């Protein structure tokens, strides 16, 4: 494991791999340039990245300023695999606004604060999960590991300093495994780690969305540890260079207004948004919709106290792996621009939005197979049939199995089926879940460990495969 953050960031700054830059060497006279760093494959930043870019919301907002007699603007988008290179570019004053996960956000604030030109503020959230399900640990399909402590003594791929790495450290610590001595962590970019996992060079991969879901969907891995077991909120958000936004406050306001546009679009049209993000990121739409669909990530821009409290708790992890300059988090977090964006764009009462903990996008409608309304969002799932305009809602996991059974009987092709974990609520692929049968009920879990916890409390529950569940559920 890397012991120091400084060398890590320096290495990233010197050799930014896996990023695609669309850079222009010059900006026309009289034109204000804004450079946005984002992560197309980190799909919980899409409202400040892939979806925002594809829909042109920022350019449209800036054009309104130009049309009203203001300056002309030029937007440059830079796509990276992780948050570290975005921070390196912000330190070099080459990126003005960037989006990344919670741990990288803290590193960003810590590393930039000593340079007035690079110093950043945390101005908005893109998406969050109240329990931590945005980070996971996966293992090869043939791995014998069923719990995170089974990884003791093995090599694990992670991006050191990322949210996925932070989850790994906390999970191992809780399981009684020393995260610095009990395992060997290889500091790798996500795609490199995915290759290492597939070739069995490592025993596990700890990463952030959408990598765990992608590898499981592609049958290249199985889920070992769901970050929701930690019960600690995880989130992604936006940082902006203070010197840039002081010179061009209208640009930050336009960006936040555009992010509100993208958030509204995603929450109102999640299936359409997933197609746009899939096209822009190269990820399968089924994987994008797993996270960006209703019941998945909470796309909410507000800087909630629960998230900031979790933010402060993350500092201990960062100090444990290397240099971390003391950061006044209360000063780093600046809700003032977002509050103004809410007021100026009719986005509702900011304080009410901050207080809300309800996922803005939930599965609703009528379950046609079980012939009843979908009234419990915590149990609701979805079935996506090939060629359908929208996935169909299922009231609970048993109803979802009935819908799958009926679709197969009719010879219909299934693109994906989504179901919430019975213990933690994490939205997951139904055919990749661990299933139990308890009486007449069928219960899905993201991991074997979660299913085992249920069986300990309910001795009558029995293990059953997904295919068996589909076959045996009563129509």
Write out pLDDT tens, residues 324-362: 888 999 999 999 999 999 999 999 999 999 999 999 999
Q: Is the pLDDT of residue 29 over 90?
A: no
Write out pLDDT tens, residues 230-276: 999 999 999 999 999 999 999 999 999 999 999 999 999 999 999 99
Q: What is the mean pLDDT of the segment spanning 381-404?
A: 97
Q: What is the mean pLDDT of the segment spanning 55-68?
A: 98
Provide the 8-state DSSP code for 386. Answer: T
Which segments of 323-447 does DSSP mark as H helices, in order? 329-332, 336-344, 350-355, 397-409
C-alpha span between 83 and 306 (Å, rounded): 22
Length of the chain, please? Answer: 475
Q: Is the pLDDT of residue 17 over 50?
A: no
Q: Residue 462's beta-bridge partner residues?
A: 437
C-alpha span between 48 and 262 (Å, rounded): 8
Share of the chain above pLDDT 90, in %: 90
pTM for the model stands at: 0.92
Provide the 8-state DSSP code for 412. Answer: P
Q: What's the number of CA atoms in the CB half-sphere (13 Å) around residue 59?
A: 11
Write out pLDDT tens, residues 195-238: 999 999 999 999 999 999 999 999 999 999 999 999 999 999 99
191 close to 180: Cβ distance less than 8 angstroms: no
C-alpha span between 192 and 197 (Å, rounded): 9
Residue at token pair 């804004």: 34
C-alpha span between 347 and 362 (Å, rounded): 19
Q: Residue 20's beta-bridge partner residues?
A: 79
């Amino acid at each position: 494991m890397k012991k120091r953050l400084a060398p890590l960031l320096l290495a990233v700054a010197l050799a930014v791999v896996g990023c695609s830059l669309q850079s222009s060497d010059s900006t026309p006279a009289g034109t204000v340039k804004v450079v946005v760093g984002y992560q197309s494959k980190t799909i919980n930043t899409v409202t400040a990245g892939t979806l925002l870019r594809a829909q042109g919301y920022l350019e449209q907002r800036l054009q309104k300023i130009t049309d009203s007699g203001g300056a002309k603007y030029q937007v440059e988008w830079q796509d990276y695999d992780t948050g570290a290179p975005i921070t390196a570019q912000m330190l070099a004053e080459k990126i003005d606004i960037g989006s990344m996960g919670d741990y990288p956000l803290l590193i960003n604030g810590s590393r930039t604060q000593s340079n007035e030109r690079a110093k950043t503020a945390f101005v908005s959230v893109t998406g969050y999960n109240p329990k931590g399900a945005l980070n996971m640990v996966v293992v090869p399909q043939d791995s014998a590991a069923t719990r995170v402590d089974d990884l003791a003594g093995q090599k694990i791929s992670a991006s050191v300093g990322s949210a996925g790495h932070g989850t790994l450290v906390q999970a191992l610590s809780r399981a009684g495994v020393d995260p610095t001595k009990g395992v060997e962590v290889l500091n790798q970019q996500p795609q490199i780690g995915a290759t290492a996992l597939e070739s069995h060079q490592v025993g596990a991969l700890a990463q952030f969305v959408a990598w765990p879901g992608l590898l499981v969907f592609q049958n290249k891995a199985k889920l070992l540890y769901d970050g929701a077991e930690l019960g600690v909120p995880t989130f992604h958000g936006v940082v902006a260079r203070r010197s840039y936004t002081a010179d061009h406050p209208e640009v930050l306001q336009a960006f936040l207004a555009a992010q509100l546009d993208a958030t509204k679009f995603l929450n109102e049209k999640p299936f359409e948004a997933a197609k746009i993000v899939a096209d822009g990121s190269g990820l399968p739409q089924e994987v994008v919709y797993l996270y960006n669909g209703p019941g998945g990530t909470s796309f909410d821009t507000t800087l909630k106290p629960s998230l900031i409290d979790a933010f402060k708790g993350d500092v201990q992890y960062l100090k444990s792996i290397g240099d971390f300059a003391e950061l006044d988090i209360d000063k780093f977090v600046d809700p003032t621009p977002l509050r103004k964006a809410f007021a100026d764009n009719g986005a509702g009462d900011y304080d009410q939005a901050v207080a809300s903990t309800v996922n803005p996008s939930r599965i609703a409608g009528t379950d046609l197979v079980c012939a009843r309304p979908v009234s419990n969002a915590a149990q609701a799932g979805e079935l996506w049939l090939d060629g359908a305009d929208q996935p169909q809602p299922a009231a609970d996991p048993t109803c979802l199995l009935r819908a799958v059974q009926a679709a197969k009987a009719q010879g219909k092709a299934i693109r994906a089926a989504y179901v919430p974990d019975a213990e933690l609520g994490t939205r997951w692929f139904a055919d990749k879940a661990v299933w139990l049968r308890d009486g007449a009920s069928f219960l899905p879990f993201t991991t074997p460990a979660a299913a085992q916890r249920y069986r300990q409390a309910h001795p009558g529950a029995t293990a059953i495969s997904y295919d068996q569940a589909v076959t045996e559920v009563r129509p």
